[in-house]
Amino acid sequence: MGSRFYDAPIDDYLPQNGNRGYRVSRYELDLNYKVASNRLAGRAVITAVTTAERPRFSLDLSQALPVSKVLVNGSKSVKYTHQRGKLTVTPRERIPAGGILQLVVQYAGAPKPVRGPWGEVGWEELTEGSLVASQPNGAASWFPCDDHPSSKASYRISITTDTPYYTLANGELVGKQTKAGQTTWVYEQTEPMASYLATVQIGRYRRHQLTDRNAPVPIHAVLPTSLRAAFDHDFARQPEMMAVFSDLFGPYPFQSYSVVVTEDELEIPIEAQGISVFGANHCDGRRGAERLVAHELAHQWFGNSLTIQHWCDIWLHEGFACYAEWIWSEAAHGPTADQLARATWHTLHREPQNIVIGDPGPTLMFDDRVYKRGALTLHTLRLELGDTAFFRLIRDWTARHRHASVSTEEFTDLVGHYSVTPMQPLWQDWLYSEPLPPLPPIGGNARHWGQNTR
């Protein structure tokens, strides 16, 4: 039997996801995708270090992608089983703890999203092309992986598809070759990345650089030509947004930032590492989605560079990204963060008081109250500490854990270094109790963002 039958779950929110006995350091994916027939053929080379000597090792991989061959450490094909979303491999020889485990997996099939309590996530067909939106457990819909946010690795992603299509993946484009009507795109993601943040975007797109050569962070748009005019208006303030967030949150954590807009409409935007994906409906010519533009950009710090160790701490992603919306509004001379916080508090006060955002449970982990109450928690902390200490804390948080995994306990411990009063009552009220606490009044320490945050 596979190891999943006698191992305790790595994460109670997704008990079937993640695997024990190794730590992946690198994925090298060679993919060939036929748009018209939705057929994906892949060869994955997964390099890991073992953490224990085990008779077998497992990977997460959808049953929609049958496996044809598995190699371990260069050996001839080895025994494997592929059942219920787990590819379980038995090496010919035992590998001691601390040894190299290199798995080569060949597979092919018609990729489709993974069904779960949060709908369908993963590889999804568009009218012309495809997108990948894997949060929280959809990475296995297109490649074999250790599909858990605490498992971060570097990636090389090579995708071959029909030449009319533009293909984007995480990291920097390091190679592109066209031959016989097919184009191969090769991307290198050097910074560690969780599997759910890995993505491929394919469509009839064109790429545009939105910043000049001297900009500290290159920003690109990848979208259909028909949406360019509306995009140029709706997303025009991204460079200013990047400057505000880099000042307040610390340096942007990746080499560049790309925004994809699909021809199809999407219910919600999607974050990936170094990339955000919006639907055509988010280009309305009126900046109607600018709040979401700020939210997705903020995830590059909170979620992508700093990634939670367990899904129960999801507020560390979504609460921060939601609070960034309010920070941007204030910086852009709209309603202040405090005005938005108090309006949000009144809205939440009328809703059921039956969620603990520090551990909301799997069915409620993407509940809007996790986002909004998470943001209110941060605003309360800002009022308690004052702007200077609050934003120094945030920059310290992003610097200490850059490209690493984080927990609520690590955040609350760090806050203790910035406060002269015990903060445990704040965490108990806001993160671990159901009733919505009152917002503190604006005290002598609190002031608007634009006055002085350094």
pLDDT per position as a tens digit, 6-24: 578 899 999 999 999 999 9
Residue 121, pLDDT > 60, answer yes
**How far is residue 235's CA from residue 228's CA, in Å, rounded to a whole number?**
10
Among 61-70, 113-122, 327-336, 418-427, name the one with the lowest average pLDDT: 113-122
Write the pLDDT tens digit of every residue in 358-391: 999 999 999 999 999 999 999 999 999 999 999 9
Residue 3 has pLDDT above 60, yes or no: no
Q: Which CATH architecture has domain 206-298?
A: 2-Layer Sandwich (3.30)
| CATH pick for 307-431 out of 1.10.390.10, 1.20.1250.20, 3.40.50.300, 3.30.9.10 | 1.10.390.10
Pick the catalytic residue from 27, 371, 410, 418: 371
Q: What own/partner pairs with CB < 8 Å and gap ≥ 24 does 238-244 have?
A: 238/210, 238/293, 238/297, 239/210, 239/211, 239/215, 240/331, 240/332, 241/293, 241/294, 241/297, 241/328, 242/216, 242/217, 242/297, 244/327, 244/328, 244/331
Model confidence band, residue 138 (pLDDT cutoffs 50, 70, 90): very high
The tokens describing 166, both together, are: 């533009």
Lookup: tokens for 353: 């008081």
On the question of pLDDT at 266 being above 50, the answer is yes
Q: What is the pTM of this model?
A: 0.95
The reported pLDDT for the residue numbered 410 is 98
Residue range 140-147: average pLDDT? Answer: 98
User: Which residues fall within 8 angstroms of residue 379, CB to CB, at 6 or more apart?
Assistant: 323, 326, 337, 338, 341, 439
CATH of span 3-199: 2.60.40.1730
Q: What is the pLDDT of residue 161?
A: 98
Mean pLDDT of 69-82: 92
pLDDT band at 192 (very low <50, low <70, confident <90, very high): very high
**Which parts are annotated binding residues?**
295, 299, 318
Statement: residue 221 has pLDDT above 90: yes
End-to-end CA distance of the chain: 57
**pLDDT category, 431, cuts 50, 70, 90?**
very high
Residues 341-354 pLDDT 10s? 999 999 999 999 99
Confidence of residue 443 (pLDDT cuts 50, 70, 90): low
Domain boundaries, the chain: 3-199, 206-298, 307-431
* pLDDT given at position 296: 98
| pLDDT confidence tier of residue 117, bands split at 50, 70 and 90 | confident
Report whether pLDDT(448) > 60: no
Residue 263 bears catalytic tag: no
The mean pLDDT value for 135-148 works out to 98
Phi/psi for 105 (5° steps) reads: -125, 125
368-385 vs 337-349: helix crossing angle, rounded to 10:
130
Q: What is the pLDDT of residue 413?
A: 98
How far, in Å, CA of 401 to CA of 306, rounded?
Answer: 6
Tokens of 381: 């902390």
pLDDT, the chain, mean? 95
Please state, for a pLDDT cut of 90, what percent of the chain lies above it.
Answer: 93
Query: Which of the following is catalytic: 296, 325, 330, 384?
Result: 296
Annotated binding site for Zn(2+): 295, 299, 318
Q: State yes or no: is 107 an active-site residue.
A: no
